[in-house]
Amino acid sequence: MSTVTESVDVRVPIRAVYDQWTQFESFPQFMDGVESITQIDATHTRWVTKVAGVTREFDAEITEQHPDERVAWKSTGGDTKHAGVVTFHRLAQDETRVTIQLDWEPEGLVEKAGSAVGVDSHQVKADAKRFKEFIEGRGNPTGAWRGEVDRPDATS
């Protein structure tokens, strides 16, 4: 399993940053290699990615989501195994730190070699920078979903 962690500070209020992150269908505008994301329902998405000429399709499930705090997910089908969490930290009224942690299972020689030399880390860093430019350039999110999703093992 390969783990990548990256943080970026965004000069936008936490609510707008979080709201934009919940707009999964906008990810291809700032994530290299993401061809499309289709929101199936409140907690399920279908992803199509193309990296180094390899197209992959998979489903993902939101496993935890709390407005202005975190969004966690895991893949549930297809040919990609990964899980991750994005957390949002208020630094000031108009500044937010976004921290992305991604755990994934490289497959095949090319992915394993790329992970070993840090290609995945560079990709996440570049995507975080493009997200920063995207939301700072807009100032306002393209939409929002402020629902709560509790961890499956959370007790009431």
Q: Kindly report, residue by residue over 36-63, the tens digit of the pLDDT.
A: 999 999 999 999 988 777 788 999 999 9
Return the structure tokens found at 75: 């893949």
**Contact between residue 48 and residue 31 where contact means Cβ atoms under 8 Å apart:** no
Least confident of 31-35, 97-101, 136-140, 149-153: 149-153
pTM, two decimal places: 0.88
For tokens 């899980």, the residue is 83
Q: Is residue 47 one of the residues assigned to a domain?
A: no
Q: Is residue 8 one of the residues assigned to a domain?
A: yes
Q: Is residue 37 one of the residues assigned to a domain?
A: no
Return the structure tokens found at 34: 């993401």
Q: List, for residues 105-150, the tens digit of each pLDDT value.
A: 756 555 555 544 555 677 889 999 999 999 999 989 999 989 899 9
Task: Tell me the CA distances in angstroms from 154 to 63, 64, 87, 101, one per residue in order.
Answer: 11, 10, 18, 21
Domain that holds residue 110: 2-23+61-138
Q: Which pLDDT belongs to residue 93?
A: 97
Domains of the chain: total: 1
Return the structure tokens found at 94: 């108009």
Where b means 16+ CB within 10 Å and e means fewer, 84-100 reads: bbbbbeeeeeeebebeb
Question: Which CATH number is 131's domain given?
Answer: 3.30.530.20
Q: Is residue 107 one of the residues assigned to a domain?
A: yes
Q: Which pLDDT belongs to residue 113?
A: 52
Q: Is residue 66 one of the residues assigned to a domain?
A: yes
Q: Is residue 39 one of the residues assigned to a domain?
A: no
Q: Is residue 145 one of the residues assigned to a domain?
A: no
- In this structure, the number of other CB atoms found within 10 A of the CB of residue 52 comes to 9
**Contact between residue 90 and residue 108 where contact means Cβ atoms under 8 Å apart:** no
Distance CA 90, CA 134 (A): 19
Name the DSSP class of 149. B
